[in-house]
C-alpha cells in the first residue's frame, strides 16, 4: 500500500513541524469541528467509521465516547502513550514524526466529549518525547490552536503531558489514572468504569495514541472513506510492529485483515538465513503463541480471526516471529519473568502466581526442572486464569498455556540434562 | 426515607436486604460465611485478595419485552456468569442466585489459599495470631496437606520491622490485603501507612515521623487477617487460647469504649491471672469495633509494684502500715468529729457505686461532696444530655453537630472519629475553637473566636452577640437541623469559662428545642470516664476549691490529688485537721495525708460508669485484686457501718439498685438491664475471625442510657450563673491557655513504658509574633512563673496559633488548669 494514514511522515515532508503539518491542511479539521460542527456530529462520524481502539482491546471508539454522561462534569480525555508491551513501538514512531496528527486527534476527541483538559500519559522512558510534546503544545497555544475560547467560540482546551515511572501496569487504563493522580499504579475496581468515574472521579475517555491519530482523517474524509480500508468489522489501517526473527523488523502500516504471511514475508522480508518459521506472537508478551502453520500464516490480522482460530487476540499488533532455532520454553520463561516483574501485586493470583511461575520456568530453563514441573507450570497458569482483578494476570498465562500445549517437546528437552 | 429492598437467593436461603448491599454481607445475614481477607465490613471493598470468589447467576431478561424469561416450571431462568465473581465487591440484585457451596467455589478457595501460602511462612507456632488467625483457619479448611511450592524458593523478608514503637510488622506474614492501609486512610484519616513497590515485592511502609503516628494504630492489629501486625505490648506475650476474656469499659476518657481484658495466669505473678492485652468489644452505639491507643496500652498500672496494698496511718509524723480495722475505726471517728466540716473531694475516675456510697456517707455527716475537675457545666449536661435511642453513628444528612472548645482528637478519640464520620455522612459539623484542631478538616464551618470568648462565640451562633459574618452562615446551617448534638470542652478554658460556655450551649439547645429526644442534647468532653456520673449524683466542683479545702475540718479525698495538682491546693489542705485519702498509689496528696486507704483498680472489681453520652455501662472483674485493697464503695460502706449508716457494700450490683431507687436519672436501671446485649451490625463476632478481625462480640451488655431529666418542652431548673468570663487579658504578662493531650503525664500513663515517646511534655506553643514580643525563640528553654509555681518549658513556634496567647498542655508538670497569666523569661544556659 502506498497510501499511509498514520505514518504519513514517511511520504510527506516536514510533517513533524507545525508549518509542515499545516501545509498539509493540518488543524483545519479541528478548526472546522469547533466552528461548524456539534460535538455530537464529531462523535457520530467516529462511531460510523467503525474505528476500534488500538491499545489492545479493540473496543469501538465511538461507542466509548458515547458512554460519557452529560450530567457529570468536568470531562477528561487521556491519551495512553505508555506503550509498554514488549515488541510494541508504533506509538513512538507516530509521536516522534507525526505527533501533530495525534495531537489533532486528541483535540477532536476532547471537543467531541467537551473536555477542556486532556492529558498525555507517556512511559517514563519517553521523556524526550514528553519534552518535544510540551514544546509543540506551547507552539499550538501560541498559534491560537489551544487555549481559551478557541477561534472565537466558547470552547477552551488545554493539554498536558505526564510521565510514568517505569511500570507496565500503568498502561492499563485505571492504573494509569491512579498514576496521574499521584498514587501507586494499581488498577481500580470496575465498575465504576472510567467513562463515569475516571480521572479524579470524573467522566474520562482513555484512548491509545494510534487510535487518536486516526481521528483527524476520519473527520476530514468521512466514515465511508475510512471504511474503504480494512475489513467490515475491523475497518482502517493498523501499524504492525514486526520483530523477532525477520529480515526487516519495523513498523508496517497495513489495512486490518492483511495476513500474517504478507506482513512477515512480503513486507518483513521473511526469515533470515533461510530458516523455517516456528511460531508467531501477535500481541507482544501478552500473546497466545501461534504455531506457524500454513493456516496460521494465511490468517488475516484483524480483531476477529486470530481470536476465533487460535484464541489469540491481536492486541496491540506487535508481531513477534520465532524461527526454528528458538526453544519455546525459553521464550515462555522470558514472558513469565516479564509479568512477574510487572505484576502490580494488588491481587493474590497474579502477585503470587507470576512469582511462582517464574520460579518454575527458571528452574526448567536452567536445567534443574522435571517433567512434573512442566505440568505444574501449566497448572499454575490455569489456576491464575479467571481470578484476577485486571487483564495483566490473564496475559501472564497466555504464552504459558499455549506454549506448553503446542511446544511441550521444547520443555521436555530441558528436563533432566 | 424508605430503602429499596432486594430479594435474592444464597445457596438454600432467601434473603431480603437493602439495595447496594454486597453479596458478602447479605450472606452473613443468613449465616453463610464467605471467607474474606481484604474485605472488612467497615472498609471500602477493593477486591484484592480474591478469597471471596463465588458463583453468581442472574435472571435472564428478554431484550424486547424487558421481562424475566421463565423456565418451564415457571421459575425465572437464571444465567450463571462464566467467571466466578468477588462477593465482597458485587452488589446484590433482584432475583440473583449466589452459590457458595459448589465444587467450583471450593476449588477457587483452595487455589487462592494455595497462592497465598506460597509466600507465607506459616510460622503459626511462633505467631501471635496463631489460634485466632483467619489464614490459619482457612488453611485448615482449604489448604492442601502438602506444598507444591519448593520451600527453599520462598520469598524471605524482614520479620521484625518496627513501624513505630507501638506496632511491629512481619513482612513475611503480610498477605498484602491492604486492610491496615485502608483503615488508616479511610477510617481514621491518618494516612501514615502505604503500599510501596509492586508485585511480590509489594510491602507496607510507614510514611510518618515518628513511625506509625496515629492514636488509632492498635486497631490495625485487630483487623490484620494474619500475624503481620502486632503490638509491641502483646507480641510474644501469650497464645490466644491461653487467655480468658473479661468484659470491661475503658476508663481513660468519657467515651466509655467497650473493651475486653484478655488475662492469663503467669508464673511471674505467682500463678495469678494478669492482663495480657486490651481488645475492643463491639458496641455500635459507642465505639463500634475500635479503641484508641490510650485505651489499648494504658493498662500496666494495675500490676505496678508501686500499688498501695495496706492502709497507712501517720504515726509520729510517719506514714505507718496499720490494719484495716484500725484504719476504718480511726477514719470513722474522724468523720463523726468533722460533721459539717467534712469535705469529700471525689475524682471522676470513681464508679457510679463508689460515688453513690461516698455521697451517702458524706451527706449523713452533713458534709460537702465536691467533684475534682477543672471543668464545669455538668448541671446542664445532666438536664440536657443524651437520652435513650441516641447514637452518634446514626447522625448524618440533615443533622448538625457543634463542637466547641475541644480538641476531640486528643480528648476523646472515639468521639472525634464518630463525629468526623457523621460529618462525612452529611451531618453539618460546626467546629468553634480559638485555635485550629484536627476536626476542622471535616467541618462545614470551622469558626474562630478570641481566646476565652467561647461562650460569646456560641451566643454569636444564636445571633445574640456580635460576631463575624461566618457565624451568620453557620447559624443558618443550624436552623434547619433535624437533630443537634453539642459537645463542649475545656480547650483554653477553666472552670468558670466552661461553666459559662455550658450555659450558653444549653441556651442554644433550649432555644432551638434540641433536647429531651434521641440524638439531641449537650455532651461535656470531661477529663474522666465518670465525671458525668458524678454530676448526675449531684457532685459539682467548688467555685473556690482553695476556700472550700481551707474550711475543711476533715478532708476525704477519693481518686483526687489536689496536692499534686496545684501548690495553692496543697497549702489549703495543710490546714485541715485530718486528711483521708483513698488511692491506688502514694500520690502527693497521699504522702501528705493522715490516713491512706488502698483501693482496687477497675479491672479488679465490679462496677459501672456513666459515659459522657449518659450511657451507664458495666465492667466486670478481670483479675483478682491484690491482697489488702478494697473497692471504694466497700470502704465507704464499711465506714458507714461504723457510723450507724446502713450502706450496701457487699456487691456493686446491690449498690447500683440503691442508686436506682434514689436518683431519678437511674430509675428503673439495673445490672441486668446494663448487661443486655443487642444484635449488632456488622456481625463481626469471633466465630469466623476473617469478617471483622479479632475484635470481641458483645455478650456482656451494651449499657443503657440514663433517664431523661428534662423531657422535650420542659424548662430546666434555673442555674444561677452570670455570663462570667475567665482571664483573657494578662496585661504585661503572657496569657497561657491550657489544653488536654491524650498521652499526658497523668498518673496512669506513666506505667506503660511503651508510651514514653508519645507523652506530652511541657512545650509552650505560641505564634511567632507573640514569641517575639516576649523575647522567645524556637526551641529555647524558658521559665514560667504561674499559679505560684516556677516551671520550665520549651518554646515552640506555631504559625497556626492566633497571636496574643500561648498554649500549654495540662498535666505535664505545670499547675495549669485554667487560663493564667505567666511571667516568662528565657533561661540562661550554664
Ligand atoms: C496490563 C495492561 C497494559 C496495557 N498497556 C497499554 C499501553 O501501553 N498502551 C495502550 O494504549 N493501552 C494499554 N492497555 C490497554 C488500556 O487499558 C486501554 O484499554 C486502552 O488504552 C484504551 O484505548 P483504546 O480504546 O484506544 O485502545 C493495557 C492494558 C492492560 C491490561
Ligand atoms: S492482575 Fe496483576 S497487575 Fe492486575 S491487579 Fe492483579 S496483581 Fe495487579
Ligand atoms: S500488614 Fe496485615 S492488614 Fe496490612 S496489608 Fe499486611 S496482612 Fe493486610
Ligand atoms: S476513646 Fe476514650 S474510652 Fe475509648 S479507648 Fe480511647 S481513651 Fe478509652
Ligand atoms: S477480594 Fe473479596 S475479600 Fe478480598
Task: For residues A175 and A187, give the distance between their C-alpha atoms in angstroms, rounded to a whole number.
Answer: 4
Q: Which residue from B769, B770, B762 is spatially nearest to B827, judged by alpha carbons?
A: B762
- Asked if B146 and B192 touch (Cβ cutoff 8 Å), the reply is no
Ligand nearest to the CA of A303: 1
- Residues of B near A (Cβ–Cβ under 8 Å) read 45-51, 53, 83-84, 89, 108, 111-112, 114-116, 118-119, 148-150, 153, 155, 175-176, 194-202
CB atoms B48 and A347 under 8 Å? yes
Ligand 2 center to B101 CA (angstroms): 27
Task: For residues B637 and B331, give the distance between their C-alpha atoms in angstroms, rounded to a whole number.
Answer: 12
Is the CB of residue B174 below 6 angstroms from any atom belonging to ligand 3?
yes
Output the pLDDT for position B151.
Answer: 85
CB atoms B175 and A348 under 8 Å? yes
Task: For residue B62, count other CB atoms closer than 10 A to its CB.
Answer: 11
Output the pLDDT for position B268.
Answer: 85
- Asked if B162 and B181 touch (Cβ cutoff 8 Å), the reply is no
User: In B, which residues are within 8 Å of A348 by CB distance?
Assistant: 48-51, 112, 115-116, 175-176
User: In A, which residues are within 8 Å of B194 by CB distance?
Assistant: 184
Ligand nearest to the CA of B112: 5
- Asked if B333 and B307 touch (Cβ cutoff 8 Å), the reply is no
This prediction has a pTM of: 0.96
- Asked if A111 and A30 touch (Cβ cutoff 8 Å), the reply is yes
Task: For residues B719 and A174, give the distance between their C-alpha atoms in angstroms, rounded to a whole number.
Answer: 61
Output the pLDDT for position B721.
Answer: 54
Is the CB of residue B229 below 6 angstroms from any atom belonging to ligand 3?
yes
- Looking at the predicted complex, does its ipTM rise above 0.85? yes
List the helix and strand counts (H, then E) for chain B: 24, 35
Class of the CATH-defined domain A8-226: alpha beta
Output the pLDDT for position B559.
Answer: 97
User: In A, which residues are within 8 Å of B201 by CB distance?
Assistant: 345
Task: For residue B304, count other CB atoms closer than 10 A to its CB.
Answer: 13
Output the pLDDT for position B97.
Answer: 98
Ligand 3 center to B578 CA (angstroms): 58
Task: For residue B741, count other CB atoms closer than 10 A to its CB.
Answer: 19
pLDDT digits (tens, 9 = 90+) for B357-410: 999 999 999 999 999 999 999 999 999 999 999 999 999 999 999 999 999 999
Tell me how many residue pairs between chain A and chain B have CB atoms under 8 A apart. Answer: 93
pLDDT digits (tens, 9 = 90+) for B565-596: 999 999 999 999 999 999 999 999 999 999 99
CB atoms B199 and A376 under 8 Å? no
Ligand 5 center to B84 CA (angstroms): 12
CB atoms A345 and B201 under 8 Å? yes
How far does B703 lie from chain A, in Å, by closest CA? 40
Q: Which atom of ligand 5 is nearest to the CA of B47?
A: 1
Task: For residues B392 and B399, give the distance between their C-alpha atoms in angstroms, rounded to a whole number.
Answer: 10
Average pLDDT, whole number, for chain A? 97
CB atoms A344 and B198 under 8 Å? yes
User: Using CB atoms within 10 A of its CB, is residue B393 exposed (0-12), middle (13-18) or buried (19+)?
Assistant: middle
How far does A230 lie from chain B, in Å, by closest CA? 32
pLDDT digits (tens, 9 = 90+) for B65-76: 989 999 999 999
Task: For residues B782 and B762, give the distance between their C-alpha atoms in angstroms, rounded to a whole number.
Answer: 10
Ligand nearest to the CA of A122: 1
User: In B, which residues are within 8 Å of A386 by CB distance?
Assistant: 83-84
How far does A180 lie from chain B, in Å, by closest CA? 17
Q: Give, to the nearest 10 degrees, the angle between helix A90-97 and helix A99-112.
A: 100
Cα distances (angstroms) measured from residue B159 to each of B166, B167, B624: 15, 13, 36
Out of 1.20.1440.230, 3.40.50.150, 1.10.460.10, 1.10.1060.10, which CATH number does the structure's domain A328-412 have?
1.20.1440.230
> Least CB-CB distance to A189: which of B47, B108, B196?
B47
pLDDT digits (tens, 9 = 90+) for B206-220: 999 999 999 999 999
CB atoms B155 and A355 under 8 Å? yes
Output the pLDDT for position B1.
Answer: 52
Q: Whose CA is nearest to atom 3 of ligand 3?
A: B224
Ligand 4 center to B379 CA (angstroms): 24
Output the pLDDT for position A417.
Answer: 53
Mean pLDDT across the stretch B185-208?
A: 97
Q: Whose CA is nearest to atom 25 of ligand 1?
A: A53
Ligand nearest to the CA of B278: 4
Q: Which atom of ligand 3 is nearest to the CA of B229?
A: 1
Q: Which of B265-269, B464-468, B792-796 has the lowest mean pLDDT?
A: B464-468
> Least CB-CB distance to A189: which of B46, B176, B198?
B46
CB atoms A349 and B202 under 8 Å? no
Average pLDDT, whole number, for chain B? 95
Q: Which atom of ligand 1 is nearest to the CA of A52?
A: 25
Domains of chain B and CATH, by start: 5-101 (3.10.20.740), 112-231 (3.30.70.20), 324-373+535-687 (3.40.50.740), 389-525 (3.40.228.10), 734-826 (2.40.40.20)
Output the pLDDT for position B727.
Answer: 76
Is the CB of residue A174 below 6 angstroms from any atom belonging to ligand 2?
no
> Least CB-CB distance to A348: which of B50, B196, B197?
B50
Looking at per-residue pLDDT, the higher value among B1 and B25 belongs to: B25
Is the CB of residue A211 below 6 angstroms from any atom belonging to ligand 1?
yes
CB atoms A386 and B83 under 8 Å? yes
Which of A50, A52, A56 most suits a substitution to test ligand 1, by most atoms within 8 Å of the C-beta?
A56
Output the pLDDT for position B718.
Answer: 65
List the helix and strand counts (H, then E) for chain A: 17, 9
CB atoms A189 and B45 under 8 Å? yes
Peptide bond into B411 cis (omega under 30): no
Q: Whose CA is nearest to atom 1 of ligand 2?
A: A393
Find the DSSP H helices in A74-202: 90-97, 99-112, 127-142, 173-180
Ligand 2 center to A343 CA (angstroms): 6
Task: For residues B111 and A383, give the distance between their C-alpha atoms in angstroms, rounded to a whole number.
Answer: 7
CATH annotation of A237-323: 3.10.20.600
pLDDT at B25 over 90: yes
Output the pLDDT for position B467.
Answer: 82
Is the CB of residue B402 below 6 angstroms from any atom belonging to ligand 5?
no
Per-residue pLDDT of chain A (417 residues; tens, 9 = 90+): 447 999 999 999 999 999 999 999 999 999 999 999 999 999 999 999 999 999 999 999 999 999 999 999 999 999 999 999 999 999 999 999 999 999 999 999 999 999 999 999 999 999 999 999 999 999 999 999 999 999 999 999 999 999 999 999 999 999 999 999 999 999 999 999 999 999 999 999 999 999 999 999 999 999 999 999 999 999 999 999 999 999 999 999 999 999 999 999 999 999 999 999 999 999 999 999 999 999 999 999 999 999 999 999 999 999 999 999 999 999 999 999 999 999 999 999 999 999 999 999 999 999 999 999 999 999 999 999 999 999 999 999 999 999 999 999 999 999 975
Is the CB of residue B204 below 6 angstroms from any atom belonging to ligand 3?
yes
Q: SS in 3 state form for B291-314?
A: CCHHHHHCCHHHHCCCCCCCCEEE
pLDDT at B441 over 60: yes
Ligand 2 center to A39 CA (angstroms): 36
Mean pLDDT across the stretch B131-158?
A: 93
Domain extent listing, chain A: 8-226, 237-323, 328-412
Peptide bond into B682 cis (omega under 30): yes
- Asked if A115 and A74 touch (Cβ cutoff 8 Å), the reply is yes
Is the CB of residue B39 below 6 angstroms from any atom belonging to ligand 5?
yes
Q: Give, to the nearest 10 degrees, the angle between helix A328-342 and helix A391-412.
A: 150
CB atoms A389 and B111 under 8 Å? no
Q: Rounded to the nearest 10 degrees, how much is the dihedral formed by the CA atoms of B308, B313, B316, B319?
A: 10
The DSSP bridge partners found for residue B57 are B80, B97
Q: Which atom of ligand 4 is nearest to the CA of B296?
A: 5
> Least CB-CB distance to B49: which of A167, A341, A348?
A348
Output the pLDDT for position A1.
Answer: 43
pLDDT digits (tens, 9 = 90+) for B135-144: 999 999 999 9
Output the pLDDT for position B829.
Answer: 65
How far does A362 lie from chain B, in Å, by closest CA? 11
Ligand nearest to the CA of B295: 4
Q: Which residue from A178, A363, A207, A82 is spatially nearest to B198, judged by alpha carbons?
A: A178
Amino acid at each position: 500500500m502506498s497510501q499511509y494514514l498514520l505514518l504519513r511522515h514517511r511520504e510527506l515532508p516536514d510533517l513533524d513541524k507545525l508549518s509542515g503539518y499545516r501545509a498539509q491542511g493540518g488543524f483545519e479539521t479541528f478548526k472546522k469541528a469547533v466552528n461548524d460542527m456539534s460535538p455530537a456530529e464529531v462523535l457520530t462520524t467516529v462511531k460510523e467509521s467503525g474505528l476500534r481502539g488500538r491499545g489492545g482491546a479493540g473496543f469501538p471508539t465511538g461507542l466509548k465516547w458515547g458512554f460519557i454522561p452529560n450530567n457529570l462534569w468536568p470531562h477528561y480525555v487521556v491519551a495512553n502513550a505508555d506503550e509498554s508491551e514488549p515488541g510494541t513501538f508504533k506509538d513512538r514512531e507516530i509521536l516522534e514524526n507525526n505527533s501533530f496528527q495525534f495531537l489533532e486527534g486528541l483535540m477532536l476527541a476532547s471537543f467531541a466529549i467537551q473536555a477542556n483538559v486532556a492529558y498525555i500519559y507517556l512511559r517514563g522512558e519517553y521523556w524526550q518525547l514528553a519534552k518535544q510534546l510540551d514544546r509543540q503544545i506551547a507552539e499550538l497555544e501560541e498559534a491560537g490552536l489551544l487555549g481559551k475560547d478557541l477561534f472565537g467560540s466558547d470552547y477552551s482546551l488545554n493539554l498536558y503531558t505526564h510521565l510514568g515511572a517505569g511500570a507496565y501496569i500503568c498502561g492499563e487504563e485505571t492504573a494509569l489514572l491512579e498514576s496521574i493522580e499521584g498514587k501507586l499504579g494499581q488498577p481500580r475496581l470496575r465498575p465504576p468504569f472510567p467513562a463515569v468515574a475516571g480521572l479524579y472521579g470524573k467522566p474520562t475517555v482513555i484512548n491509545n495514541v494510534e487510535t487518536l491519530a486516526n481521528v483527524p482523517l476520519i473527520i476530514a474524509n468521512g466514515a465511508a472513506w475510512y471504511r474503504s480500508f480494512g475489513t467490515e468489522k475491523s475497518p482502517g489501517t493498523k501499524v504492525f510492529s514486526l520483530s523477532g526473527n525477520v529480515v526487516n523488523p519495523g513498523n508496517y502500516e497495513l489495512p486490518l485483515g492483511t495476513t500474517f504471511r504478507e506482513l512477515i514475508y512480503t513486507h518483513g522480508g521473511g526469515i533470515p538465513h533461510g530458516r523455517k518459521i516456528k511460531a508467531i506472537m501477535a500481541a507482544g508478551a501478552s500473546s497466545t503463541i501461534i504455531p506457524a502453520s500454513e493456516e496460521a500464516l494465511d490468517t488475516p490480522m484483524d480483531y476477529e480471526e486470530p481470536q476465533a482460530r487460535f484464541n489469540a487476540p491481536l492486541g496491540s499488533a506487535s508481531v513477534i516471529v520465532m524461527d526454528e532455532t528458538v526453544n519455546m520454553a525459553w521464550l515462555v520463561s522470558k514472558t513469565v519473568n516479564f509479568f512477574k516483574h510487572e505484576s502490580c501485586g494488588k491481587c493474590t493470583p497474579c502477585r503470587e502466581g507470576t512469582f511462582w511461575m517464574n520460579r518454575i520456568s527458571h528452574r526448567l530453563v536452567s536445567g534443574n526442572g522435571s517433567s512434573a514441573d512442566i505440568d505444574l507450570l501449566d497448572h499454575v497458569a490455569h489456576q491464575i486464569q479467571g481470578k484476577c482483578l485486571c487483564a495483566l494476570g490473564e496475559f501472564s498465562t497466555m504464552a504459558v498455556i499455549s506454549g506448553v500445549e503446542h511446544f511441550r517437546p521444547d520443555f521436555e528437552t530441558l528436563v533432566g540434562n | 426515607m424508605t430503602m429499596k429492598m432486594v430479594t435474592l437467593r444464597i445457596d438454600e436461603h432467601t434473603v431480603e436486604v437493602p439495595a447496594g448491599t454486597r453479596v458478602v454481607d447479605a450472606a452473613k445475614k443468613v449465616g453463610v460465611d464467605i471467607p474474606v481477607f481484604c474485605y472488612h465490613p467497615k472498609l471500602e471493598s477493593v477486591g484484592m485478595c480474591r478469597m471471596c470468589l463465588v458463583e453468581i447467576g442472574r435472571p435472564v431478561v428478554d431484550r424486547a419485552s424487558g421481562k424475566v424469561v421463565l423456565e418451564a416450571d415457571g421459575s425465572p431462568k437464571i444465567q450463571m456468569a462464566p467467571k466466578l465473581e468477588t462477593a465482597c465487591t458485587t452488589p446484590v440484585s433482584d432475583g440473583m442466585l449466589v452459590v457458595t457451596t459448589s465444587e467450583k467455589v471450593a476449588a477457587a478457595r483452595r487455589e487462592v489459599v494455595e497462592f497465598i501460602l506460597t509466600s507465607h511462612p506459616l510460622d503459626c507456632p511462633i505467631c501471635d495470631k496463631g489460634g485466632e488467625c483467619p489464614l490459619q483457619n482457612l488453611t485448615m479448611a482449604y489448604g492442601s496437606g502438602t506444598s507444591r511450592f519448593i520451600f527453599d524458593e520462598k520469598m524471605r523478608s524482614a520479620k521484625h520491622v518496627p513501624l513505630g514503637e507501638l506496632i511491629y510488622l512481619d513482612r513475611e506474614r503480610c498477605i498484602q490485603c491492604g486492610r491496615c492501609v485502608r483503615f488508616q486512610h479511610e477510617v481514621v484519616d491518618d494516612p501514615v501507612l502505604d503500599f510501596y513497590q509492586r508485585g511480590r515485592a509489594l510491602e507496607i511502609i510507614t510514611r510518618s515521623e515518628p513511625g506509625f503516628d496515629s492514636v488509632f494504630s492498635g486497631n490495625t492489629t485487630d483487623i490484620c487477617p494474619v500475624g503481620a501486625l502486632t503490638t509491641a505490648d502483646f507480641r510474644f506475650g501469650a497464645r490466644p487460647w491461653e487467655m480468658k476474656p473479661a468484659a470491661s469499659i475503658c476508663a481513660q476518657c468519657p467515651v466509655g469504649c467497650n473493651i475486653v481484658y484478655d488475662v492469663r495466669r503467669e508464673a511471674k505473678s505467682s500463678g495469678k491471672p494478669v492482663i495480657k492485652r486490651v481488645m475492643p468489644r463491639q458496641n455500635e452505639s459507642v465505639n463500634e469495633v475500635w479503641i484508641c491507643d490510650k485505651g489499648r496500652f494504658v493498662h500496666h498500672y494495675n500490676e505496678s509494684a508501686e500499688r498501695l496494698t495496706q492502709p497507712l496511718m501517720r504515726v509520729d509524723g510517719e506514714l505507718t502500715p496499720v490494719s484495716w480495722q484500725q484504719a476504718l475505726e480511726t477514719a470513722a471517728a474522724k468523720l463523726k468529729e468533722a460533721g459539717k466540716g467534712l469535705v469529700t473531694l471525689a475524682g471522676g475516675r470513681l464508679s457510679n457505686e463508689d460515688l453513690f456510697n461516698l455521697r451517702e456517707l458524706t451527706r449523713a455527716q452533713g458534709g460537702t461532696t465536691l467533684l475534682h475537675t477543672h471543668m464545669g457545666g455538668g448541671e446542664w449536661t445532666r438536664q440536657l444530655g443524651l437520652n435513650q435511642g441516641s447514637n452518634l453513628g446514626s447522625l448524618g444528612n440533615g443533622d448538625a453537630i457543634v463542637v466547641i472548645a475541644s480538641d476531640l482528637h486528643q480528648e476523646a478519640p472515639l468521639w472525634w472519629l464518630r463525629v468526623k464520620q457523621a460529618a462525612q455522612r452529611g451531618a453539618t459539623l460546626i467546629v468553634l475553637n480559638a485555635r485550629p484542631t484536627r476536626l476542622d478538616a471535616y467541618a462545614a464551618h470551622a469558626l474562630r473566636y478570641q481566646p476565652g470568648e467561647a461562650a460569646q462565640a456560641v451566643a454569636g451562633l444564636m445571633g445574640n452577640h456580635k460576631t463575624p459574618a461566618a457565624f451568620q452562615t453557620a447559624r443558618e446551617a443550624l436552623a434547619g437541623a433535624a437533630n443537634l448534638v453539642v459537645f463542649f470542652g475545656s480547650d483554653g478554658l477553666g472552670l468558670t469559662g466552661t461553666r459559662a460556655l455550658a450555659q450558653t450551649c444549653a441556651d442554644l439547645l433550649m432555644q432551638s428545642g434540641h433536647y429531651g429526644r434521641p440524638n439531641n442534647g449537650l455532651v461535656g468532653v470531661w477529663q474522666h470516664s465518670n465525671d458525668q456520673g458524678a454530676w448526675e449524683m449531684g457532685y459539682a466542683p467548688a467555685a473556690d476549691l482553695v476556700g472550700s479545702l481551707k474550711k475543711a475540718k476533715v478532708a476525704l479525698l477519693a481518686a483526687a490529688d489536689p496536692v499534686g495538682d496545684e501548690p495553692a491546693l496543697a497549702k489549703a489542705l495543710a490546714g485541715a485537721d485530718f486528711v483521708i485519702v483513698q488511692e491506688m498509689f502514694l500520690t502527693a496528696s497521699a504522702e501528705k495525708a493522715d490516713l491512706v486507704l488502698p483501693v482496687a483498680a477497675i479491672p479488679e472489681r465490679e462496677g459501672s460508669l456513666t459515659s459522657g453520652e449518659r450511657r451507664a455501662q458495666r465492667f466486670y472483674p478481670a483479675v483478682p485484686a491484690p491482697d489488702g485493697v478494697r473497692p471504694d464503695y466497700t470502704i465507704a460502706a464499711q465506714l458507714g457501718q461504723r457510723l450507724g449508716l446502713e450502706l450496701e457494700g457487699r456487691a456493686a450490683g446491690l449498690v447500683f439498685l440503691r442508686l436506682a431507687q434514689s436518683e431519678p436519672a437511674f430509675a428503673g436501671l439495673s445490672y441486668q438491664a446494663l448487661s443486655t446485649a443487642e444484635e449488632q451490625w456488622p456481625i463481626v463476632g469471633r466465630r469466623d475471625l476473617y469478617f471483622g478481625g479479632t475484635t470481641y462480640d458483645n455478650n456482656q451488655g451494651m449499657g443503657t442510657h440514663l433517664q431523661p431529666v428534662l423531657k422535650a418542652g420542659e424548662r430546666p431548673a434555673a442555674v444561677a450563673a452570670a455570663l462570667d468570663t475567665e482571664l483573657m487579658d494578662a496585661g504585661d504578662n503572657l496569657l497561657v491557655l491550657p489544653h488536654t493531650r491524650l498521652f499526658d503525664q497523668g498518673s496512669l500513663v506513666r506505667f506503660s513504658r511503651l508510651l514514653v515517646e508519645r507523652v506530652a511534655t511541657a512545650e509552650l506553643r505560641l505564634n511567632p509574633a507573640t514569641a517575639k514580643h516576649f523575647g522567645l525563640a524556637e526551641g529555647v528553654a524558658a521559665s514560667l512563673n504561674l499559679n505560684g509555681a516556677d516551671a520550665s518549658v520549651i518554646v515552640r513556634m506555631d504559625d497556626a496559633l492566633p497571636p496574643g496567647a500561648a498554649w500549654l498542655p495540662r498535666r505535664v508538670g505545670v499547675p495549669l488548669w485554667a487560663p493564667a497569666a505567666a511571667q516568662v523569661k528565657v533561661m540562661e544556659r550554664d
